Amino acid sequence: MIRRSRPMLLLIALLTALATVTGCAAIPDETPAQGIAAGDAGGKAAPVPDPAPGLQPADLVRAFLEANADPTSSYAAGRPYLTKAAQAKWQPASSITIIQNTYNTLPDQTKPDHAKVLLTTQIIGRLGADYAFVPASAPNALTIELDKQDGQWRISSPPPGVYMTLDRFNEVYRQTRVYFLDPQKRVLVPDLRYIVAQPASTLPGRVIDLLLAGPSDAMQGAVTSALGRDAALETGGNETGDGAVLVNLSRPGDTGSPGNVKLMIAQIVQSLAVVTNNRIRVEVEGTALSPERLDWRVGDLPAYDIGTSPGPDLTGLLVQDGRIKQLADGKPLNGPAGNGSYVVQTAAQSIDGTELATVSKPGANAELRVGGLTQSAPVVDLTATTLTRPTWVSADSATDPSNEVWTVADGSRVARVVKSADGTWVARPVNSNDLSQFGQITDLRLSRDGTRAAVIANSQLIVCAVVRTPNSDTVALRSPRLLLPDTLTSVVGVDWLLQDQLVVATSSPASPVVQVAADGDPVFNRYNAANLTAPVTAVTAAPSRPVIVVDAGGMWTSSDSGSVWRVQGGVNVGRGSSAVPFYPG
């Protein structure tokens, strides 16, 4: 059997892609089953054509960038563009750099048998060894040298690793979700990855490889797995012949606990649901992992989303003119938050709807109050001139209220306010040193599963992992990633639409509202700007809810990115309003 080590994961998976890449594969209908075997090659590769004869140096470099993106047979398509000496030294699997579709290849020097081409590009990211996208933004210039070989130009000094355009990246790779667990093992958490799209028959095996290798670098410490560190995929998986995909494991970890076994199966089945519609058969060395059933579908699993989505009866609230009102009908909330006693600037409702955190500023300092939704609440001992809109951590169970809410004091000090045993709310620091490089923080929103934080700093969007040290009160924000820095330059608001999807409001008339992935995938959706009047000043989003924004003209709602924005009914928000709508979370 083979245990695939994480550093080799990228190389092994690419070496198994033995059919010409033609684009992203659709999920196939249920087909005759096959076992997922480690290192399944999937057939022989087709012969690789030579470059067109007579290509000039700059044209050859462009043709090489197109060909070298194909990972089939250890990037065989790119090798004919290199001199024989360069072919022996080229290490394409060492790194994958993604560049803008438009780039320049400028002849820098040409002699009868030697030439130089200046390749100038804009880097937008790279694919890590963990198969996760790592956003970046940097101009890049490389001098590529070429020599004549048998009368034809060939590259003698190729770029390091593989350089590919965004279009080619989207042709060769497809996005998938690998599912892990929050630290309390209550919620399945998606971890975005990118796998070679062809051949489609090998997709399940690649997904399982990623699952067994553990979380991506960006999510280290924020999520965990029910599968043991030594879990491996058995070699030589057998075809069952009855329409199930077989996942045959060895050393899966703790199989003595029925609850942990169910979590293992949930991670496997949910991860594979992205790439196959077949039933999933999970075994340990040929024996069913669970005595409960042999084959599994997503519908057979319990709901692993406790406290991550507000109930249908919680329609949202609104801060307007210092009062908190119902978003559905504009009626003030009962109690001091709704009658004007607090003069609320901003607020947040817990995901279960029972608690409320408000920010007011009656004097020089801001005040944070946390308590029951309609009850009077004391001021938390947290001295600050400014406090960002609070954001709630989900409850530990479906029947418990949340006991933790976050805010940012004076643009730099991230605080988590925790309910103590005697019922008082106490502020504790969050280690946010990794965020100091980005400047003043004006907003922070926790994902509703509690594993990620979206941060607005210096009008840009950053996503980081929420890392809780086991058996400790220490919490830190780690692995910050600056998302779409060339596009999102005037961010004013953000909220979580899904566990790994954000809705972002900007003051830009060109892109007032956009939906972006939590990993900074450069392919994103711009919401239809029809009816919006810049600048947008506030946004709220939640699963299975319309997105709501406030702009210079009022408050608007949209069910999807292609729809025209419509006036939010039930409450009158006039032009130039500073109203702040918010869903629970």
Q: Is residue 397 predicted with pLDDT exceeding 80?
A: no
Q: Which of 538, 544, 542, 545 is nearest to 581 (CA)?
A: 538
pLDDT tens track for 103-159: 999 998 778 999 999 999 999 999 999 999 999 999 999 999 999 999 999 999 999
Confidence of residue 53 (pLDDT cuts 50, 70, 90): very high
Confidence at residue 240, expressed as pLDDT on a 0 to 100 scale: 65
Confidence of residue 398 (pLDDT cuts 50, 70, 90): low
**DSSP assignment, residue 473?**
S
Q: Is residue 9 predicted with pLDDT exceeding 60?
A: no
Confidence at residue 249, expressed as pLDDT on a 0 to 100 scale: 93
Buried b (16+ CB within 10 A) or exposed e, 415-434: bbbbbeeeeebebeebebee
**DSSP assignment, residue 438?**
G
List the beta strands (DSSP E) in 321-373: 323-326, 344-349, 355-360, 367-372
Confidence of residue 26 (pLDDT cuts 50, 70, 90): very low
Confidence of residue 361 (pLDDT cuts 50, 70, 90): very high
In one-letter notation, the amino acid at residue 102 is T
Instruction: Tell me the angle at which helices 203-213 and 258-272 cross, rounded to the nearest 10 degrees.
Output: 140
Q: Is residue 208 predicted with pLDDT exceeding 70?
A: yes
Q: What are the structural domains of the chain?
A: 9-173 (3.10.450), 177-300 (no CATH), 317-582 (2.120.10.30)
pLDDT tens track for 58-79: 999 999 999 999 999 989 999 9
Per DSSP bridges, beta strands 114-127 and 104-110 are antiparallel
Q: Is residue 11 predicted with pLDDT exceeding 50?
A: no
Q: Is residue 395 predicted with pLDDT exceeding 90?
A: no
First CA to last CA distance, the chain: 45
Confidence of residue 548 (pLDDT cuts 50, 70, 90): very high
Higher pLDDT, 569 or 297: 297
Q: CA torsion sign, 471 to 477 to 479 to 483?
A: positive
Spatial separation of the C-alpha atoms in residues 377 and 357, rounded to whole Å:
9
Spatial separation of the C-alpha atoms in residues 484 and 486, rounded to whole Å:
6
Rounded mean pLDDT, 160-170:
95
Q: Is residue 549 predicted with pLDDT exceeding 70?
A: yes
DSSP string, 476-541: EEEEEEEE-TTT-SSEEEEEEEETTEEEEEES-SSSSEEEEETT--S--EEPP-TT--SPP-EEE-
Q: Is residue 396 predicted with pLDDT exceeding 50?
A: yes
Confidence at residue 574, expressed as pLDDT on a 0 to 100 scale: 85
The whole-model pTM stands at 0.89
Range of weakest confidence among 155-164, 195-204, 377-386: 195-204
Buried b (16+ CB within 10 A) or exposed e, 131-140: bbbbbbeeee
Counting residues of the chain whose pLDDT is more than 70, the rounded percentage is 91
Q: Is residue 403 predicted with pLDDT exceeding 50?
A: yes
Confidence at residue 461, expressed as pLDDT on a 0 to 100 scale: 98
Q: Is residue 38 predicted with pLDDT exceeding 60?
A: no
Counting residues of the chain whose pLDDT is more than 90, the rounded percentage is 79
The rounded mean pLDDT for the chain is: 89
Higher pLDDT, 181 or 198: 181
**CA distances in angstroms from 487 to 124, 137, 482, listed in the order given:** 11, 10, 11
Residue 59 in contact with residue 36, Cβ under 8 Å?
A: no
pLDDT tens track for 490-509: 999 999 999 999 999 999 99
Confidence of residue 399 (pLDDT cuts 50, 70, 90): low
Confidence at residue 20, expressed as pLDDT on a 0 to 100 scale: 35
Rounded mean pLDDT, 32-45:
44
**CA distances in angstroms from 466 to 218, 454, 470, 478, listed in the order given:** 10, 10, 13, 7
pLDDT tens track for 438-474: 999 999 999 999 999 999 999 999 999 999 999 889 9
Spatial separation of the C-alpha atoms in residues 455 and 494, rounded to whole Å:
8
**CA distances in angstroms from 246 to 3, 114, 149, 275, 399, listed in the order given:** 17, 54, 49, 14, 37
pLDDT tens track for 89-101: 999 988 999 999 9
Confidence at residue 45, expressed as pLDDT on a 0 to 100 scale: 60
